[in-house]
Structure 1
Amino acid sequence: MITRITSLITVLILTIACAHGQAYEPLALAKKIFDKDTLSNIATYVIGEYKGRPHGGDLGKGAKTRFMLLEQTAESAVVNMTVLDSTGVGFDTYLHFKKETIWKMSAFRALAQTGIIDRIKTQLEKMSQADVDRVVAEVKKNGKDKFSMFSSQEEYNFLLGNAKLTLALDDHIVQHFVENMAVFEQLKDLAIAELKNKKNDEEGSIKLIAQSKREYERLFIARVSSGGDELGNGINFFIGGVIDNAVGYIYVQDKKDLPRMSPNGVIMIREIGAGWYIYKTT
């Protein structure tokens, strides 16, 4: 009898959902919303701050999209949508969903306030080797002032590489990690060992392995730390960003220690493997 009642309730819920719109899983719904032929009844599939824009009709002519499900629970989901132009240049966005009787999209996110980083990258890329050498020579002669972007070839390499990595597609951020995994693992082990001696007498975010700054800057990592409100007790290999809009790698020994994704905090987490993840915040 109980089984029959449960079945009837399930049928009733599905009937109600179908009356208002077909029930899609988050990944399928993301593809529908950002298809070139946008859903005619898109209002059925939105909730909260997301009102149906942007959608597929807002993407540039010739734009291509790729989708990846980052997380799906009984109540929420996050889908990564990569948008590429005809030359392969693009950006990553993060579509947040909530489950009511059917799945609905609730927020559209991307790494924000990247304009200044892009301008720095462009300015550094325009410099010839002679330009770099001249700046380094002037700093050595006169000292570094507030107008000096860098004081050595190594610092120039870090600034340019860091800006590129901050703005890179998620696939490229993963590739950078994989290509340098051995060094990341060595630095992580040093950070964990140091953290064991610090976590009992310090609160908040703890800066780690300052003695290895040269090594992690070669990987275009700005700093290594642990703790803080959003990222918890993992090892944070911070790449870059402006104010609260950040991107980096995080290592956790136990997956349950990962921060929860939300539109107003950690907007994405993508697993790389062996306890390593990419994260972005807003």
Structure 2
Amino acid sequence: MNKLPLILLAALLSACAQSSLQPVMVAKKIFQVNADEKFINAHSTGDYRGSPSGRDLPADMQRSFLLLQQRGENSAVALNLRQGNLIIDKYLFFTKDSGSWKLSGIGTPTLAQLHVRKLRAMQALSEAAIDSTLREAQQYTDPEYKTREEFDFIVNSLQLKLAPDDTLIAHFNKYRPAFDNLLVAARQALQQPHDEYNSLVNTKTPAYRPLLISNITTGGFLPAQCIDFHILYDQVGYLYTPDEKYLPELRPDKVMMVRKLGRGWYLYKVAIYL
């Protein structure tokens, strides 16, 4: 007779524990090997319908999670998947519903396949084909590239743009002093009359070219208080803001990832043109 209250108490405590799980823990349970289908269904809402989940992933695929942002009833978590040389970054979006955090959407770069095809096509060109392409480019007023240096800049930028988040962060850290110098130049440019459609600073000089930044702007799809350092003009890059309160709220269909790099710097990704 005394066992029944204990069973009820255990069930109640289990239910409370489930409802109070934080977004990262919910993400881990959804994407763990042989994830519980009932748990997935109970923690799914919005555009997410229970797949993909850990049930769809190879058992030997490594999974790691990082809380990106949590504001009110919304939260974003980065999911990193690794299997051999394969590295995939996804961005999980949670909504608090009836006291529980539920997965409502997954963000992924929308133009990645287009960039992959372009990169492969450029890398497949022979030296003779590249020379021929560059000669033909001289006939046009504003081609994408006219010199081998410009051609290589685009190839290297595409490689960086398509790279895993950890590689993008390592690139920034490698050139952090140069990025800081570029920031100083951008802030100085903002004190002068400037054309909002052109880059604040010429990033193609010998000092800045290794950074692989195509242009620098403010506003647009990011708040006006952010200075945006773009990799090939859109979707992926670095930003600086004096206060994290100016960072945009993360959404799967807009700015879907912001990762802190220190001293006001962040890595960002957007889903599509906004």
> TM-score, normalised to structure 2's length?
0.83
The one of 83, 94, 101 aligned to 1:97: 94
CA distance 1:17–1:230, shift in 2 (3 Å): farther
Match of 1:279 in 2: 268
Deviates more, 1:187-196 or 1:120-129: 120-129
The one of 150, 161, 177 aligned to 1:182: 177
Match of 2:159 in 1: 164
Distance 2:244 2:16 in 1: 39
Check the 8 A contact 2:93/2:105 in 1, yes or no.
Answer: yes
Distance 2:37 2:170 in 1: 38
Check the 8 A contact 2:33/2:59 in 1, yes or no.
Answer: no
How far has the Cα of 1:150 moved from its partner?
3.2
How far has the Cα of 1:125 moved from its partner?
2.0
Return the letter of the residue paired with 1:30.
A
Matched, 1:35 2:32: yes
Matched, 1:227 2:219: yes
CA distance 1:17–1:177, shift in 2 (3 Å): same
Match of 2:66 in 1: 68
How far has the Cα of 1:219 moved from its partner?
1.8
5 Å matches for 1:17-166? 18=15, 21=18, 23-41=20-38, 42-60=40-58, 62-86=60-84, 88-100=85-97, 101-137=99-135, 139=137, 143-144=139-140, 150-166=145-161
CA distance 1:130–1:62, shift in 2 (3 Å): farther
Check the 8 A contact 1:83/1:90 in 2, yes or no.
Answer: yes
Q: What do residues 113-140 of structure 1 show as CA deviations (whole Å, max 9, x unaligned)?
A: 2111101111222234454344335545
Cα RMSD, aligned residues only: 2.8
Matched, 1:237 2:229: yes
Return the letter of the residue paired with 2:86.
V
Match of 2:242 in 1: 253
How far has the Cα of 1:80 moved from its partner?
0.5
Q: What do residues 181-205 of structure 1 show as CA deviations (whole Å, max 9, x unaligned)?
A: 1111111111111112248xx7xx5
Distance 1:43 1:241 in 2: 39
Check the 8 A contact 1:224/1:237 in 2, yes or no.
Answer: yes
Q: Note the residue ranges of structure 2 that are not aligned, 5 or more in a row.
A: 1-10
CA distance 1:241–1:51, shift in 2 (3 Å): farther
Return the letter of the residue paired with 2:61.
A
Distance 2:144 2:45 in 1: 45
Match of 1:4 in 2: none
Match of 1:10 in 2: none
How far has the Cα of 1:227 moved from its partner?
1.3
Distance 1:145 1:195 in 2: 29
Distance 1:17 1:224 in 2: 51
How far has the Cα of 1:65 moved from its partner?
1.9
CA distance 1:15–1:102, shift in 2 (3 Å): farther
Give secondary structure in 2 for the equivalent of 1:174: helix
Return the letter of the residue paired with 2:33.
K
Distance 1:137 1:264 in 2: 40
Q: Note the residue ranges of structure 1 that are not aligned, 5 or more in a row.
A: 1-13
Distance 1:149 1:189 in 2: 28
Identity of aligned residues (%): 29
Deviates more, 1:75-84 or 1:172-181: 75-84
